[in-house]
Every structure is written in C-alpha cells, then in structure tokens.
C-alpha cells in the first residue's frame, strides 16, 4: 500500500494548494473545485486496490473540511474511481491529454453530484445556477492548466518512493 500512501500525500498537497487559492479568491466570490484530480491518476495508472484507497482517503480529506455528511466526497470519489478504472482499458491512458480529459469529465460529474445534494439547502435553487456555472467553468480551466503538472508530480513521487506500478506491455 506504499503507492496509496504516496498518492495520498500528493492529494494532501493538492487540497492545501486549492484551499489557499480559494481563500485568496474569496473576495471575488470565485471558488475552485478539483475533485476530478483526486481520482484520475489513481484510477488510470494504479492497480485497483491502491488507487481505490488513495481516492477514498483523498475524499475523506475533502469531507473533513466540508459541511456535507462525512463520507460524501469519499463515496463519490470511490464511485468515480470505479467507473474510470473499468473504462481505462478502452482509453489511451498513457497519454497526458487523455488523462486531462478524464479529469475534466470526472470533475464535471462530481461537481454536478454535489450540487444536486446541496439543492435542498438553497432558498431559491434557480438563482444559484449562474454562480454554479461560473465556479464550474473556472474550475475546469484551472484543472486543464494544472493537471499535467499534477500528474507528473504524482508519477515522480511514486518513482521516488519506488511504488510506481510496472508499465503495461
């Protein structure tokens, strides 16, 4: 499980960076969601169990900081991980572009799922959509920008810890 631990550390770093960025952007009412990045690399490049636990631990990290019922992010990340893992053989998963696209799609899906869960708390759900849309667009732009760096960081961290899975033949 060394691979899961190393991936968890990279997710910890990602969460901290995104949280700092969100804190700095709060005055503009901009907020970034990077859930897609928490599952993509572990689902595309790692053996199932190691990647699965890394995604769940990353989800628990997000859960600890959110007012959602504890386990919501972890559950959603686990589902997203399983879906991506089961489709990865049909993808050119070694390609960075493919990984970025998977991260973007996973991010939209997770964002939509959490938004649906929060609808009950809003006074007028219809009035919220411009803000939701704006958060999503900015999040997607930032993910497209940082995903190649983050995947490289995860790969390099696994190599340093000698926990990188063997490349498929």
Partner 1 sequence: MLGLALAAWLLAPIGLKTLVRSSFFEMTAPIEVAGSYASDLQKFWALRLHSKDDLIEAGRDMARLNSSYSLSVQENGELRAEVERLQALLRMPPDERYRFEHARVAERDFSGWWQRMIIRKGSDYGIPVGAPVVYSGGVVGRVAEVHAFTSVVQLTSDPGLRIAAVVDGDTRPISFQGAENQVFGYPKGVIEFVPLDIYASKSVPRRLATSGLGGVYPPGLTIGEINRVEPSADGLFKTGEVELDPRLAELTEVTVLVPVSKE
22 binds partner 1 (CB under 8 A): yes
**Pattern 123-142, partner 1, x by CB under 8 A:** xx--xx-xxx-xx-------
86 and 93 in contact (C-beta within 8 Å)? Answer: no
Distance CA 36, CA 111 (A): 9
Binding residues among 75-114 for partner 1 as defined by CB under 8 A = 75, 78-79, 82, 114
- Other Cβ atoms closer than 10 A to 72: 17
38 binds partner 1 (CB under 8 A): no
Residue corresponding to tokens 């970025």: 100
Specify the residue, 135 or 144, whose C-beta has the smaller distance to partner 1: 135
Q: Counting contacts by CB under 8 A, is residue 116 touching partner 1?
A: no
Residue 156 binding partner 1, by CB under 8 A:
no
**Which backbone phi and psi does 79 adopt, to 5 degrees?**
-65, -45
Q: If you search the block for the tokens 């938004």, which residue do you land on?
A: 115
Among 60, 105, 155, 161, binds partner 1 (CB under 8 A): 60
Question: Does 5 sit near partner 1 (CB under 8 A)?
Answer: no
Q: Are 49 and 7 a contacting pair, CB within 8 Å?
A: no
Token readout for 7 is: 């991936």
User: Which position has the token pair 């700095």?
Assistant: 24
**Contacts to partner 1 by CB under 8 A:** 12, 15-16, 19-20, 22-23, 26-31, 33, 48-49, 52, 56, 60-61, 63-67, 70-71, 74-75, 78-79, 82, 114-115, 118, 121-124, 127-128, 130-132, 134-135
């Amino acid at each position: 499980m060394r691979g899961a631990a190393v991936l968890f550390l990279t997710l910890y770093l990602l969460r901290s960076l995104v949280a700092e960025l969100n804190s700095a952007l709060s005055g503009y009412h901009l907020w970034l969601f990077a859930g897609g990045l928490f599952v993509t690399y572990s689902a595309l490049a790692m053996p199932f169990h190691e990647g699965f636990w890394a995604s769940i631990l990353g989800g628990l990290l997000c859960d600890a900081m959110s007012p959602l019922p504890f386990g919501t992010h972890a559950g959603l990340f686990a589902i997203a991980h399983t879906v991506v893992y089961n489709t990865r053989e049909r993808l050119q998963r070694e390609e960075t572009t493919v990984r970025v696209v998977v991260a973007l799609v996973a991010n939209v899906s997770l964002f939509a799922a959490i938004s649906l869960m929060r609808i009950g708390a809003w006074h007028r759900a219809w009035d919220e959509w411009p803000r939701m849309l704006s958060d999503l667009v900015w999040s997607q732009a930032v993910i497209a920008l940082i995903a190649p760096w983050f995947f490289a960081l995860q790969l390099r961290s696994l190599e340093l810890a000698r926990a990188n899975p063997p490349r498929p033949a």
